[in-house]
Structure 1
Amino acid sequence: MAVAGDATQEWSALTEAAEQVDKTLAALPEPTRRTPQQRDEAEAAKNRARALRARYLDAHADTVYDRLTAGCTRALRIDELVEAAATAYPGLVPDADRLAQERGRPQADKEGHEIDQGIFLRAVLRSPTAGPHLLDAMLRPTARAERLLPEFLRTGVVEMEAVRLERRDGVARLTMCRHDRLNAEDNQQVDDMETAVDLALLDPDVRVGLLRGGEMSHPRYRGKRVFSAGINLKNLGSGDISLVDFLLRRELGYIHKLVRGLRVEGADAPWHSPYVEKPWVAAVDGFAIGGGAQLLLVFDHVLAASDAYLSLPAAKEGIIPGVANFRFSRYVGPRLSRQVILEGRRIWAAEPEARLLVDEVVDPQELDDAVERSLARFDGEAVLANRRMLNLAEEPAEAFRAYMAEFALQQALRLYGEDVIHKVGKFAARSA
């Protein structure tokens, strides 16, 4: 068994507490069948272990990370990192078997083992050594994108389940195409989006990126374009939204790549920067709800149809709206941020306040032409250099890392909050 540093006694106490959690849970019925007393018993055992886990990682996160990454010589993505930690440090984070058992259950019937992943990742991201290394690992191209790159370079088109990518006239055109569910986000959508962003950034013939929603087959919006309905609440209620593969990968993966660019090394890396960046334009048809509105905060230019609206209903749903709490005030100020995030205020594109979030508001029939004009304006080397400097000034990497460290744990806790489970359960029942 691996033990970090001289922390033998601390490690022993942690593993004993983790084993006691297993014994306690094994003696109890499923979470939804427990009495209040049994729920308290389970939570007390978990909290004892979590307190020891947090204390251990506060003291030894760098030593643990150093061992898992061979002295920061291995670039592990967050899914690979938690898997390696589960093998090297049993009891520190849930292993693959335990997560697989949880994945097959509705959210209400899970034990919340992902919270232990949140404790671990908070400690890693807090570290001034491990945290930046992990962020850079997450900015590297995915293996899937590298496999698809030759095909994309040859054909200029990649069709995925949730996203269609096409290169035309130097523009990487990403179209979200979950037509039957209003582009609601789930694990698959995050995987497809990161793949598409990677390909756009890796292709030397792409100079600008565009994100837009495709036409829907959903009965209420059939034949109309829609940007995004945000997180798939039905999937959240059924237990199919994960902390690592969705909530954290989304923020540390493709959305962060939209801001910072793609980290490349070796012969492909430019001498002046390890990051390949490009300007990005977004066009909003219909609505940008939740995760859709969060996305707009990292684009260089945002257009919206005059009948569109934006909203961040995460507080009503019980979760945290990604990195919006970090970025939103920069655009609209603290008062409007609280109205939108805490009270669920909807911002219509036609409202004056929308101009704080949207650069151009145009008639729906004129949106196509307005998009093409904006793409032409953002095709230039000076644009690229200046957006890099703006992003450095507006969103320092250290400030982003500090936010993500706390987000890793707080969002994990929210996933298993009783209010969240109740709300998404009701949503899933209505959608059945």
Structure 2
Amino acid sequence: MPEALVRREARGRAGLITLNRPKQLNALNDAVMDQLGAALLALEEDAGIGAIVIAGGTKAFAAGADIDVMADWSFMDVYQTNFITRNWETIRQIRKPVIAAVSGYAMGGGCELALACDIVIAAGSARFALPEIKLAMLPGAGGTQRLPRAIGKAKAMDMCLSARMLDAAEADRYGLVSRVVPDAELLDHALTLASQIAAFSLPALMAIKESINRAWESPLSEGILFERRALYERFASDDAHEGMHAFLEKRTPTFHHR
């Protein structure tokens, strides 16, 4: 059996999914995302579940993508395998409300995973960043599309172009998160909220979610397509490979702007 990188359980009408790669700070690779997608779909199909919580660990919700896996991929590696599209898009299929319970670092893909959820509850220790520029890459799991919609163009440009990290209070002020709670109360708060939401009519919840997403994401499909192609093109860049290898070797990258 594959390693349980994601744990799934029911807490009354609330479904709880916990990312389970603590040594890697819940870095998101294909195996994690496949298991996350399977857990989400299972809870979507469970008639006893009305809302879903996705949680990480105390140190990190999810510390970005697994760079070690992708450092030597080529453009065709990602293009032919539908990198990101084949497993990240599962969360967009989920019609039940999904709540992210974020403690510690939500970096890169971790921040994008939180952005893909319907409600984001942040602990005081939560930190949000899209640092892909440091690797000569770009946020490619919806970051360049969802972040401006959440916090506005100016602040999204700042985060994406400078790799600026937001603390929980800033993220709350900017509108990236729904509310901030003490660290010790994060999971209880998220599950209480999920239970409260799940107690309402599921068809109504689904209709509300669909309606808000229609208003918020009307042009998103074209943006995602453009972003995905731009991400794939990064794998044809010498600088991107240099950035990733420098990260793995714990040295400062030398970019040649190609």
TM-score tier, shorter chain, comes to 0.7 to 0.9
1:6-85 aligned within 5 A: none
Taking the aligned partners of 1:349 and 1:339, their CA distance within structure 2 comes to 17
**2:151·2:174 contact (CA, 8 Å) conserved in 1?**
no
Distance 2:188 2:15 in 1: 17
Identity over aligned pairs, percent: 27
* Residue identity matched to 2:217: E
**Which of 400, 413, 423 is residue 243 of structure 2 equivalent to?**
423
CA distance in 2, matches of 1:320, 1:401: 18
Alpha-carbon separation, structure 1, partners of 2:187 and 2:215: 32
The alpha-carbon distance between structure 1 residues 229 and 250, as it changes in their structure 2 partners (threshold 3 A), is same
Contact kept in structure 2, 1:331 and 1:357, CA below 8 Å:
yes
Query: As a proportion of its length, which structure holds more helix?
Result: 1
What is the Cα deviation at residue 333 of structure 1? Answer: 0.9
Q: Give the secondary-structure state (helix, strand or coil) at the position aligned to 1:210.
A: strand
Deviation at 1:353, TM superposition (A): 5.2
Residue 371 of structure 1 deviates from its aligned partner by: 1.6
Query: In 2, Cα distance between the equivalents of 1:356 and 1:202?
Result: 31
Higher relative contact order (CA 8 A, sep 6+): 2
Is 2:195 the counterpart of 1:195?
Answer: no
- In structure 2, distance between residues paired with 1:372 and 1:198: 19
The 2-side partners of 1:330 and 1:345 are apart by 18
Amino acid at match of 2:144: N
1:232 to 66, 81, 84: 66
Q: Structure 1's 242 and 387: CA in aligned 2 closer, same or farther, altered over 3 A?
A: same
Tell me, yes or no, if the aligned pair for 2:106 and 2:127 is still in contact at 8 Å: yes
Give the letter for the 1:249 counterpart: R
C-alpha change, 1:165 and 1:246, in structure 2 (3 Å) is farther
Q: Which amino acid aligns with 2:49?
A: V
* Residue pairs, 1:2-401, within 5 angstroms: 160-214=3-57, 224-239=58-73, 242-243=78-79, 244=81, 246-251=83-88, 253-257=89-93, 261=94, 277-322=95-140, 323-351=142-170, 354-379=173-198, 380-381=200-201, 382-396=204-218, 399-401=219-221
Aligned residue for 1:77? none
C-alpha separation between the residues in 2 aligned to 1:354 and 1:423?
32
In structure 2, C-alpha distance between the alignment counterparts of 1:321 and 1:337, rounded to whole Å? 11
The alpha carbon displacement at 1:373 in A equals: 2.4
CA distance in 1, matches of 2:158, 2:216: 22
Partner of 2:256: none
1:191 Cα shift? Answer: 1.2
Structure 1 segments of 4+ aligned residues over 6 angstroms from their partners: none
Q: Is 401-410 or 192-201 further displaced after alignment?
A: 401-410
2: distance between equivalents of 1:159 and 1:285?
26
More strand as a share of residues: 2
Q: CA deviation at 1:340?
A: 0.5
SS of the residue aligned with 2:10? strand
Structure 1 counterpart of 2:224, one-letter code? M
Partner Cα separation in structure 1 for residue 91 and residue 66 of structure 2: 18
TM-score (norm 1): 0.53
3-state SS of paired residue (2:162): coil
Matched-pair contact (CA < 8 Å) for 2:120–2:177:
yes
What residue in structure 2 maps to residue 36 of structure 1?
none
The 3 A distance-change label for structure 1 pair 393 and 404 is: same
Q: What amino acid does structure 2 have at the position aligned with 1:185?
A: L
* RMSD across aligned positions (CA): 2.3
Question: What amino acid sits opposite 2:24 in the alignment?
Answer: R
2:104 and 2:127 in contact (8 A); partners too = yes
Q: State the partner residue of 2:222.
A: 402
Distance in 2, matches of 1:190 and 1:369, equals 24
- Asked if the contact 2:158/2:164 (under 8 Å) is kept, the reply is yes
Q: Does structure 1 retain, via aligned residues, the 8 Å contact 2:14–2:191?
A: no
What's the offset of the Cα at 1:294?
Answer: 0.8
Contact 2:14 2:195 in 1 (8 A): no
Please list the CA deviations of residues 46-98 of structure 1 after superposition, one character each: whole Å capped at 9, or x if unmatched.
xxxxxxxxxxxxxxxxxxxxxxxxxxxxxxxxxxxxxxxxxxxxxxxxxxxxx
Secondary structure in 2 matching 1:350: helix
Once residues 404 and 350 of structure 1 are traced to their aligned partners in structure 2, the CA distance between those partners, rounded to angstroms, is 28
Quick one: which amino acid aligns to residue 358 of structure 1?
A: V
- Deviation of the 1:407 alpha carbon: 2.8
The number of equivalent residue pairs is 244
Structure 2 counterpart of 1:427, which letter?
F
